[in-house]
Chain A
């Protein structure tokens, strides 16, 4: 097996990624030009910045003076170039001072923790409580108007906030398991910091440096504006703005180049910071890589029409999904990840949705609720709930359906709870969204719902962080039950929980289902969970349903090679000491779906015919459907 095919050469370099962003390139080039020009001022400046010429005072731009002249007839461009040296040097001094203090302290505090961390945090508190402006002004007074000392003190005083930023990054990295693995391997601590911790800091560091540079440029020019730093006639950016401001009535032009250079430099720094941040975030992810090409979308025409599943009346169904296709990415060029799913749920039925990760279970579940997010949409197909078509419904209408008709619980209950509100108020909110409740009856309803999920009513007063994962899932179920839904969609509701807690949650769901007659769509990759709760199993592979059958039949005699292989890889029925049967290979990613059977590359029964054309879903008797043309061969093999 080789690495997943869609992988492309992944550069860790932040620079190439910044350069791929238009804003990053533009702001980077602008900054580079300004910095180089300022450094090279003695070489390229057209005139002496101090040379006065009373014959041409306050001129506009001309061939002789590209940016005009000031009130003493000095060349503005030359003065800007020379003046920039002081400003940019000030920025560099402040940034260096900040880095020298903040990086070591932040890294040490985050990495070592404990007493060192506490001491550093105390220092940070002190730094943050010092009134920066006053100290800087005092420093200027004491050190004889020295801009160097002033900018260093700006850097030192600002380092408090940056220590915190760097510390929290390192704190996160320290928890990573690869640090533990390196330590077990005998790699010593300084090397771990150098090789594993600092590289993670690099992106954040670049972002913070650009943003801080923009801020210090403001401080430096502000001080110069207030006539600190080198006295006239020496040019400074701030001083030139001050002069221009005093002449604004007579010569408005002068403010344009002087204020402009500061604005442009600041803007370029901020935009570059943004570009670096984005580049850093996408560095180690595959964001957008799969969404580019869409052969699946192009193939849509060849798709055989879905037959009506026989033996099951679509008319009586609570939920009837037909030919559901869901895509992500730009409109018209979507990557289709769910491709023609049919699904039916009778009132009170519990249907299990099984398949390996990436097969489209979650996307299917989310699209039933219209919760696909900004870049996902239903491309084709129909979802009828209780006779009402949901595809194309407005958001407001969908919200109504979500409240009362369909509810959902997810794999990460903690994430769905708001950490800043008590559990009780979150349940009450869900309950009153469904029907108007007074304060008194809301409290009663909350108690009732908590009891329904076997929690003590006192839990209502707790915050989410005060309860365990199992309790959080119960609370999530209580919230879902608040609207008395007729269909509950549960996406891997117990995957993050312990076996013991899982068993309790499954019991709870079964109890509620039997009492209220609510239907459930249970998404899971655990056959045991499916066996425990479901009456029918729907197996998904690569965005399609490949088998649908009553749950006992699925386990006893699977009618699709994928179902069979997936069942066999379960260690429950394996002989200890012998290798477990495996499927081999990986689920193809949506961009790589083949034309023929999507399971063919991993299928033990595959023949050439399987690879020729899309495989239709066919009725294989006893209310069962399978997307395989070699069901007979499979039947013989299993028998």
Chain B
């Protein structure tokens, strides 16, 4: 993990996002810089409400940007025309946290997977056969049988739905996938499977991931670089190992000390460390 990063696939500079209008307008993200080189994973951590999902949405163009820029593949996303932006959908995809609301319950898995493909601009349109082939190979890739295409979301478990959501995000061969807490709602055993799947497709397809989570342990496992967020601002960034093993910012330290570890003795030490940190802060 020491090779020199190339030209970033995604670079975010001075990003600010506001919610609300008029007097209720509030800035929830301020001055955030991020860069993800091709084939790398950037982990975004922070407590609830720190603005992680908001940054993810800004990168996806789901919320308007108040200041700063999002440059994807060398082009400023905010300056694109509607059609260009829609074409961008092909190369920038998303996997959401909630496996229960991220698939339309009224549509078969086949419909959900094919939807991004049937709606392409003329040049990139795929034939029915191409779509079916791709669907079959991706369902296999995420560990489901081809018969899954004829079923409805209610027939799958949470972990299987996340696999389907991952398959959907890969249908158009994207370059970047934003994963907003993709494993937070899953059991430990299922979480491990989904994390492995993400790491595997990333390696095989050379994807870049923006991996959002509140769990530093999970982020450390999958990311090359970690950015720690607090109140909409970046408080610490660096290579995953460094941030996890030797956190510099007190907030990162307390975040780490708060995460319980599966070892009663080490957990005791962490508890003491956290108490010391709290006393230091007053």
Residues of A with Cβ closer than 8 Å to B? Answer: 1-4, 7, 10, 12, 175-178, 180-188, 191, 195-196, 199-200, 284-286, 356-357, 469, 498-503, 506-507, 525-532, 551-552, 555, 565-567, 569-574, 576-577, 579-584, 586
Judged by a CB distance under 8 angstroms, whether B172 is at the interface is yes
Do A499 and B258 touch (CB < 8 A)? yes
**25 pairs, A vs B, C-beta closer than 8 Å:** A1-B143, A2-B147, A3-B151, A3-B160, A177-B98, A178-B104, A180-B94, A182-B115, A184-B89, A284-B152, A356-B187, A356-B189, A498-B48, A499-B255, A499-B258, A500-B258, A503-B259, A525-B188, A531-B261, A532-B271, A571-B191, A571-B221, A572-B217, A580-B196, A582-B193
Query: In the complex, A357 Cα to B104 Cα: how many Å?
Result: 23
The answer to whether A188 and B94 touch (CB under 8 A), given A356-B189, A499-B258, A528-B259, is: no
Nearest-Cβ distance from residue B75 to partner chain A, whole angstroms: 16
5 shortest A-B CB distances, which residue pairs?
A528-B260, A186-B89, A527-B262, A185-B116, A186-B86
Query: In the complex, A187 Cα to B121 Cα: how many Å?
Result: 11
Query: In the complex, A1 Cα to B254 Cα: how many Å?
Result: 40
Q: B residues within 8 A CB of A498?
A: 47-48, 214
Known contacts A181-B102, A551-B264, A586-B159; 20 further A-B pairs (Cβ under 8 A): A2-B144, A3-B156, A7-B156, A178-B101, A180-B94, A185-B90, A185-B119, A195-B104, A200-B106, A499-B47, A526-B260, A528-B261, A531-B260, A531-B261, A566-B188, A571-B192, A571-B195, A571-B220, A581-B192, A586-B157
Do B260 and A580 touch (CB < 8 A)? no
Q: B residues within 8 A CB of A184?
A: 60-62, 89, 92-94
Judged by a CB distance under 8 angstroms, whether B179 is at the interface is no
Q: B residues within 8 A CB of A527?
A: 188, 262
Query: In the complex, A586 Cα to B158 Cα: how many Å?
Result: 11
Q: Smallest CB-CB separation from A284: which chain B residue?
A: B105
The answer to whether A10 and B157 touch (CB under 8 A), given A181-B165, A572-B262, A582-B189, is: no
Do A177 and B192 touch (CB < 8 A)? no
Judged by a CB distance under 8 angstroms, whether B155 is at the interface is yes
Which B148-183 residues have C-beta < 8 A from chain A? 148, 151-160, 165, 168-169, 172
Interface of B is mostly: helix
Do A579 and B240 touch (CB < 8 A)? no
**Per-position contact with A for B251-275: 1 when CB-CB < 8 Å, else 0?**
0001101111111110100010010
Q: Could you tell me how many residues of chain B have their Cβ less than 8 Å away from some Cβ of chain A?
A: 84
Q: A residues within 8 A CB of B87?
A: 186
Count of chain A to chain B residue pairs whose CB atoms are closer than 8 Å in the complex: 210
Judged by a CB distance under 8 angstroms, whether B54 is at the interface is no
Judged by a CB distance under 8 angstroms, whether B10 is at the interface is no
Do A579 and B151 touch (CB < 8 A)? no
**Per-position contact with A for B193-234: 1 when CB-CB < 8 Å, else 0?**
101100110000000000000111110110000000000000
Q: B residues within 8 A CB of A182?
A: 115-116
Q: B residues within 8 A CB of A583?
A: 189, 192
Of A499, A567, A569, which is within 8 A of B191 by CB?
Answer: A569
Query: In the complex, A502 Cα to B169 Cα: how many Å?
Result: 32
Of A12, A551, A582, A586, which is within 8 A of B196 by CB?
Answer: A582
Query: In the complex, A286 Cα to B116 Cα: how many Å?
Result: 28
Q: B residues within 8 A CB of A12?
A: 106, 152
Do A579 and B262 touch (CB < 8 A)? no
Nearest-Cβ distance from residue A408 to partner chain B, whole angstroms: 22
Do A177 and B96 touch (CB < 8 A)? yes
Nearest-Cβ distance from residue A200 to partner chain B, whole angstroms: 6
Interface centre among B116, B120, B165 (most CB of A within 10 A): B116
Q: A residues within 8 A CB of B11?
A: none
Query: In the complex, A188 Cα to B86 Cα: how many Å?
Result: 8
Query: In the complex, A570 Cα to B274 Cα: how many Å?
Result: 22
Do B271 and A500 touch (CB < 8 A)? no
**Per-position contact with A for B106-119: 1 when CB-CB < 8 Å, else 0?**
11000010011001
Nearest-Cβ distance from residue B83 to partner chain A, whole angstroms: 9
Do B260 and A186 touch (CB < 8 A)? no
Do A531 and B96 touch (CB < 8 A)? no
Q: A residues within 8 A CB of B199?
A: 579
Query: In the complex, A12 Cα to B255 Cα: how many Å?
Result: 45
Of B61, B154, B195, B257, which is within 8 A of A284 by CB?
Answer: B154
Q: B residues within 8 A CB of A2?
A: 144-145, 147-148
Query: In the complex, A571 Cα to B88 Cα: how many Å?
Result: 34
Nearest-Cβ distance from residue B160 to partner chain A, whole angstroms: 7
Nearest-Cβ distance from residue B258 to partner chain A, whole angstroms: 4
Nearest-Cβ distance from residue B237 to partner chain A, whole angstroms: 17
The answer to whether A188 and B119 touch (CB under 8 A), given A284-B106, A528-B267, is: yes
Q: A residues within 8 A CB of B261?
A: 528, 531, 572
